[in-house]
Amino acid sequence: MARNALAIDVDGLTKRFDDKVVVDNFGLQVPSGQIYGFLGPNGSGKTTTIRMLCGLLTPDGGSGTCLGFDILRESARIKREVGYMTQRFSLYEDLSIGENLEFVGRIYGMADRRRRVAEALERLGLAARRGQLAGTLSGGWKQRLALAACLLHDPKLLLLDEPTAGVDPGARREFWEHLHELAQGGMTVLVSTHYMDEAERCHALAYIAYGKLLASGTAQDVVASADLTTWAIEGEGLAAAAAQLRGAPGAEMVVPFGARIHVSGTDAGALAESVARAASGAGLRATRIEPGLEDVFIHLMQRAPEPVTAAREAQA
């Protein structure tokens, strides 16, 4: 596959469980060699989408390709080329690091299994811990082991489902350094996350809520497309100002950010007037700032459509 080709190219993906539409007419294009962030609240359909992309679930509707293979007819071939890291640690805790990787190698029928395992241990800094039981590892080391297992068969695409949940900041940073090294080598990464600092490390983003794609593009594109104005207010009497702003003209969101509040909306004029009134008291300072990804994603979530059920869809 050429580096500038699309690693993922799907359109109209739909998945239902009973009468609930979990993924609703979803489309996504991810160029090869990119780290693509997949964001959205819990229950938004991210995991279901990832499982459809790697061949673990069959879509009820839609079509497309993953690594050039048809997601409906060639799911077995996709599985051979994809590394999938689930939300929960899924290796054997009563086996050592080395034994877990040996087991994964046998599953893939690797003729050069021992060499591949040794390389994976070195790549992720696990060689010195080869004999340690997986169940005794901290969250960060379990994460390294899970990533090593995903990379053992040299996949062209990594699908990572909230891989850094519950991992300390230092381990998260090291993990993302590994991801960028892999992307520089031509690997494509689709990673779901709730962390805004991680989202900003991605080449591009997609935001999904209730199974629908709400925004996509670079972080700058997503922020610009929201057409959001944000003010920061700080000082004494902040609680009273926040209470005054909730429901005020133009103030669609009032969100605490440490020792200040962010007030955002799409009607810049009305918002400016409301902020001026609320911040007119002594000891308060209001400054217009560039909205951040978190401001935009809270805004998108508030405007997200309600979940669709098959029964409602049939009545439409």
Domain spans, the chain: 6-223, 229-290
Pairwise CA distance, residues 307 & 65, whole Å: 26
Phi/psi of residue 93, nearest 5 degrees: -75, -20
CATH architecture entry for 6-223: 3-Layer(aba) Sandwich (3.40)
Looking up tokens 């673990």, which residue turns up?
Answer: 56
What gap in Å lies between CA 119 and CA 124, rounded to an integer? Answer: 9
The pTM for the full model equals 0.85
DSSP, residue by residue, 12-23: EEEEEETTEEEE
Distance between CA 298 and CA 197 in Å, rounded?
Answer: 15
298: three-class secondary structure by DSSP:
helix
Taking the C-alpha atoms of residue 87 and residue 195, their distance in angstroms, rounded to an integer, is 14
d(C-alpha 96, C-alpha 141), whole Å: 12
Q: Give the span between the Cα atoms of 305 and 287, in whole angstroms.
A: 31
Sorted by sequence, the CB contacts under 8 Å of residue 221 that are 6+ apart come out as 204
- Count the helices and strands in the chain (H runs, E runs): 12, 15
For residue 275, give the 3-state DSSP assignment. Answer: helix
- CA gap 234, 220 in Å, rounded: 26
Amino acid at residue number 32:
S
Q: What is the mean pLDDT of each run of 10 residues along the chain (316 residues)?
A: 74 92 93 93 88 92 94 92 87 94 91 91 91 92 91 92 84 90 93 89 92 90 93 92 94 92 95 94 90 89 63 38
Calpha distance 1→133 (Å, rounded): 38
What's the CA gap between 254 and 122, in Å, rounded?
A: 48
CATH topology classification for 229-290:
Alpha-Beta Plaits (3.30.70)
Judged by DSSP in three states, 45 sits in coil
